Amino acid sequence: MVGARGLDAVPAAGGQTAGNVGNSFAETCDVRLEAPLVDPGEGTVECGGPEEDEPDENHPNGERIRSLLALESTSVDVSGKKAGGRPRVAIVISHPVQHFCPMYREIAADGRVELLVLFVEAGAAPKFDDQFGRVVQWQADLLDGFTFKVLAAPEKEQSRATVAELKEFAPDVVYVHGYARPYLRAAMRWAKSAGAPVMMTTDGELLHPRPWYIEAIKRVVLPLTLRNVDLFLTVGDENERYFAHYGVTRERFLRVTFSIDSGYYDKTLARREEARRGVRERLGIAGDAMVVLTVGKMIPRKEQADLVKAFLELAKTGHTSAVLLIAGEGELRAKLEDLAKPLGEAVKMPGFIGVDELPEFYVASDVYAHPSMGDPHPLAISEALYCSLPVVVSDQVGSIGPTDDVQNGKNGWVYRTGDIATLAAILGNLIDHPEVRLKAGAESVALGEKHSSKYTAKGFVDGALLTLASKKKSQA
């Protein structure tokens, strides 16, 4: 099947397309969750399904699906406490994030829940980013299409202000984005006292060792905090390993990946060849050159220097046709420029690229590389997948796993952080074998679809309704 990106879906194991792996548990569980779920004055959800719907062991939502199947075919009331029937869902998060707001818009448009987003620390005003060294401004319509409140309370007042808003809204389900801030834990405590189930997302992982005293504290404190969460919307394999490390059972996992502004990307993908040609012409890149893109601040942990060093190794073996495109700005720019001088026009550093231009840089490229020595689950990788790029990442990136964004040998390649020889060998192989990167890019398409705002919004609402149903059944 040829999709909007002009690439064929590649069959996965078992005869499924890769896009079917990790589908919403609502679809797999034969649960009636298509909008609209609830009519005014009534609300039921049927859980359970035929025996043949039992998920396979590798399904990322397998355990959660099995726990839902265990409810057997029954009807559970999921109407809201307020008149009108729709359950109320409150999202508690620090500030607007350009990747997540389109998902909030889709949740509101879904129609099955009434949504309120609480931005506790700040709104969407332009702000100066120290690491980029410039003012960052988001799209004008970032907050359109969903109900929100900006609390912008002083730090000492954030918990009180958050609880006050929750009391006023009286949500049936509370979602918290993380647990580190006191107001997030206050929201969880309020939800528990009000009998509302809690959902949580974080990007925590275990790849990077913490000081022993931090780990000792977390071993004691974190399980106590996490036991207040009814459903974890996990973002990947490493993320699930993190929660399991602190005592969370898989029955409380539901894979709902981080969303991106897929609607905005679709506009560029619809004119992919034009956008690709335009960027390459502006930067003086040949149409047949293999372009390796990396996106991020030029700071030590991003390790863009490893890519420059790999290109220096490639030049020694006669691989001189590829171009490295480093999109970003930061404190290490001068050092990177000095390191790249022997490569001349083979390395391009166009500086900070705004979110409005970034999709064009993805489609102008052939491979996405993320050499960071520490990134929990980078959204740049999700965006690259959505643009059908194969990916090359260091082993310290938390997006790697058999059901995650980077599946080694399938849609990407993994090398040990700092291993320049292996990184150069991977890139050299991709230069020599364009058919390999095209096949991997086709695999990325199916994985990238799971980051669309509509797909993630459906998973979010499915999770909210089913955890509410499960809570009500347990109280019956």
What topology does CATH give the domain 19-259+452-475?
A: Rossmann fold (3.40.50)
Q: Where are the domains of the chain?
A: 19-259+452-475, 262-449
Say whether 161 sits in a helix, a strand or coil: helix
pTM for the whole structure: 0.82
Distance CA 43, CA 370 (A): 46
What is the edge-to-edge ordering of all strands in the sheet holding 198-201? 148-150, 114-119, 88-93, 173-177, 198-201, 231-234, 253-255
Where helices occur in 90-198 by DSSP H, the ranges are 101-110, 158-169, 182-194
In this predicted structure, what is the pLDDT of residue 130?
Answer: 57
Domains 19-259+452-475 and 262-449 alike in fold: yes
Q: Which two tokens stand for residue 379?
A: 């959204």
Tell me the average pLDDT across 60-65. 56
**Residue 60, pLDDT above cutoff 60:** yes
In this predicted structure, what is the pLDDT of residue 351?
Answer: 93
pLDDT in tens, 97-127: 989 999 999 999 999 999 999 999 987 555 5
Q: Which two tokens stand for residue 436?
A: 């390999």
Look-up of token digits 């997030």: 184
**DSSP class of residue 32?**
-
Pairing, β 173-177 against β 198-201: parallel
- CATH architecture entry for 262-449: 3-Layer(aba) Sandwich (3.40)
Q: Is residue 273 exposed (0-12), middle (13-18) or buried (19+ Cβ within 10 Å)?
A: exposed
Tell me the average pLDDT across 176-184. 96
Distances (CA, A) of 184 to 93, 154, 176, 188, 226: 8, 15, 6, 6, 12
Distance CA 210, CA 360 (A): 38
**Residue 78, pLDDT above cutoff 80:** no
- Which residues contact residue 322 at a Cβ distance below 8 angstroms, ignoring those fewer than 6 apart? 289, 290, 291, 292, 311, 314, 346, 427, 431
pLDDT in tens, 322-369: 999 999 999 999 999 999 999 999 999 999 998 889 999 999 999 999
